[in-house]
Amino acid sequence: MTITLRKTFFAMATMIVLLGAIRPSNLSAQTSGVGSDGYTRFMWTGTDDRISLWRLNPSLGGAVSHQYGPFDQYIPIAMTVGSNNYTYVLWKRTDGAISIWLVDPNLNYVTSRVYGPYAGWIPESMSISENGANNLRIIWRETQGMVSVWSVNATLTLLQSQVYGPFFGFSPTSAVQSAVDSESDANAKSAMSNHAASAPMPRGSAKDN
């Protein structure tokens, strides 16, 4: 075996180990954002699923942080920042439900809302509009390959949703995440099998503490 080939195999093995160590929820979900005030806000995830939200000034200094959690049965998935300088955090509960947090410009928790769970559906990611309306987009993946796209307003109320797929030969996530999520999908099917909803629809409860 040549040195070049050995190096290639070593690099591939290293990548496999690293990918195995990455949490599926962190492969594609957004975990930072910049508000209209120029401040960068981003999220650290602890090994016990607590989060630490950081804020940096426009010169990337003056770090301020707030820590939250851990919360029983909740895993942080994503966070984003709106032009209103509010931070939004997406949590996934072990039964497939989500909790969306609203956090003020100084990183103080304001309120939250819980949606779900919905049979066969797994929350994937969150982003925010750039037109000033600060409407969130939440992506759900169905275990058979469908996608549901949600529009949620700045006060955490679901406005509308649309389901697409499935499409033969295509997955709504990356090949790496699909492989890592295979066991999670099986667990989600089992955990959510007792819930009647066939697709994510408006059914929220306010103020998740």
Is-contact 143 185, C-beta < 8 A? yes
Band (204; pLDDT cuts 50, 70, 90): very low
**194 within domain boundaries:** yes
Average pLDDT over every residue of 8-24: 38
Q: Check residue 30 and give its pLDDT.
A: 79
Domain-located, residue 91: yes
Residue 97 lies inside a defined structural domain of this protein: yes
Residue 87: inside a domain: yes
What would the pLDDT profile of 99-139 be if each residue is shown by its tens digit? 999 999 999 999 999 999 999 999 999 999 988 899 999 99
All residues at 6 or more sequence positions from 78 whose CB lies less than 8 Å from its CB, including other chains = 25, 29, 30, 31, 89, 90, 125, 126
Residue 14 is assigned to a structural domain of this protein = no
Asked if residue 20 belongs to a domain, the reply is no
pLDDT tens readout for residues 57-85? 999 999 999 999 999 999 999 999 999 99
E strands of the chain, at which residues? 32-34, 40-45, 51-56, 64-68, 74-81, 87-93, 98-103, 109-115, 121-128, 136-142, 147-152, 158-164, 204-206
Residue 196 contacts by C-beta under 8 Å, 6 or more apart in sequence? Answer: 119
Contact 200, 121 (CB under 8 A): yes
Residue 147 has pLDDT above 70, yes or no: yes
Is the model more confident about 72 or about 9? 72
Smallest CA-to-CA distance from 44 within 118, 107, 132 is with 107
Residue 8 lies in a domain: no
Nearest by Cα to 99 from 81, 134, 123: 123
Does 15 reside within a domain? no
Look at the chain and report how many structural domains it folds into: 1
Residue 47 structural domain: 25-206
